[in-house]
Amino acid sequence: MKYKNFYLLSLLTVVLVSVYPIYMGVVTLNNYLRNGSIDVADYQKYIIPYTPICIALIVSVAIMPLIFKLFKRYTLPVVSFLGIALFVTSEFGFEQIKVLEGYVEMPLEAWQLSLCMATPEVLRSLGDPIYAANNPAFKIHFYIIAMVIILAVLNVIYGFSKMLREQDFGKKRPLIAQAVSVALFIGLCILACFTSFYRNGTINISPLSALLMSIFFIVFGITVGIYCGSIFYGKSKLLSKIIPSITASLTTLIMYIGELELMDGVLFKYGKGFFFEPLGTIPFSAADIAIILFSGVITYIVIQLLNKAKID
């Protein structure tokens, strides 16, 4: 496939995938500009962070060829910085929107928090969303998730574009691995939006919910780890394998810390028994620690296989 064909197909794919989030953002902004606030009935769920993510990706991918002409070898860091800057700017703008129900007005970000904390089962039982005090900790999840998606997608599109442009296929395998990991992660994010992973509104969650949450945390860490691994692919063992694996586990740990802040120092329990109980004075269970380490271990194995395939 020629470079131009791949680039145009990538841009078209990003635009098509972004149609609904962009539509939600346009509807929300239109209502806000007309009325000065958004009625709860008109609020489009999850416009943050997904509408800002789509804005960042569409603009970044659209001008990527121009950035390549101007910055050559520094294209990836420049376009990545641009993508993050666009996301932060548009995200901050959307967060200023007010959501109104009756005489109660709250920032859109606080409304989004209430939707994150209220699982589908809780919403069905109460009939209305839970109004939670605005806890900025939930942004840790949204911001990190958004930035990982932006960086990984731009890495894939730039990497394949550069590969086709220069006819150098040395990084094909890590780029494929990155594409698979970020596609799976985005799929899990969408599933979480519609199901909240079937949490039941209590700390003790079902086996299905525990499985989905575990997979989410692990895939999240692996996506970041493979991102680092693709950047340092073919370098020393420290750069290409160990650092990406450590980064994967640290990323998963950061998400756990965000969860702790959001939930006042407690975590969901994935089951019953010692393995799922907090270890002494620390809030993490053996299961949580295993998930954190597992993301790093799988990242190491994947990168090891990628490097072995290169040698073979």
Give me the pLDDT at residue 122, please: 43
Mean confidence (pLDDT) of the chain: 84
Planar angle of CA 80, 86, 90, nearest 5 degrees: 150
Q: Kindly tell me if the per-residue pLDDT of 2 is higher than 60.
A: yes
Is 91 contained in some domain? yes
Long-range interactions of 18-26: CB distance < 8 A, separation 24+: 18/54, 18/57, 18/58, 21/46, 21/47, 21/50, 21/51, 21/53, 21/54, 22/51, 22/54, 22/55, 22/58, 24/50, 24/51, 25/51, 25/54, 25/55, 25/94
Which domain covers residue 106, as residue numbers? 1-155
Considering the domain architecture, whether residues 54 and 202 belong to the same structural domain is answered as no
Domain count, the chain: 2
Query: Of 124, 155, 186, which residue sits at a domain end?
Result: 155
199/88 same-domain check: no
**pLDDT, position 219:** 96
Q: Is residue 203 part of a domain?
A: yes
For residue 163, tell me if it sits in a domain: no
Pair 75, 50 in one domain: yes
Cβ atoms 32, 93 nearer than 8 A:
no
Q: What is the pTM of this model?
A: 0.86
The tens digit of pLDDT for each residue in 48-85 reads 788 999 999 999 999 999 999 999 889 999 999 999 99
The answer, yes or no, to whether residue 152 has pLDDT greater than 50, is yes
296 and 182 within one domain: yes
The band of 222, judged by pLDDT with boundaries at 50, 70 and 90, is very high
Over residues 195-214, the pLDDT tens digits come to 878 877 678 888 899 999 99
User: For residues 125 and 41, which has the higher predicted lDDT (pLDDT)?
Assistant: 41
Q: Do 241 and 195 belong together in one domain?
A: yes
**Do 196 and 284 lie in a common domain?**
yes
Distances from the Cα of 27 to the Cαs of 34, 42, 44, 247, in angstroms? Answer: 11, 8, 8, 38
* Rounded average pLDDT over 101-107: 56
Token pair recorded at residue 76: 């990836």
145 and 284 in one domain? Answer: no
Residue 160 lies in a domain: no
At 113-133, the pLDDT tens digits run 555 544 444 444 334 443 344
Give Cβ neighbours of residue 240 (< 8 Å, ≥ 6 apart): 229, 232, 233, 234, 303, 307
pLDDT band (50, 70, 90) for residue 292: very high
Indicate if 122 and 218 belong to the same structural domain. no
Statement to judge: residues 25 and 78 lie in one domain: yes
Q: Domain boundary residue among 122, 155, 188?
A: 155
Mark whether 18 and 90 lie in a shared domain. yes
Domain end: 125, 155, 185, which one?
155
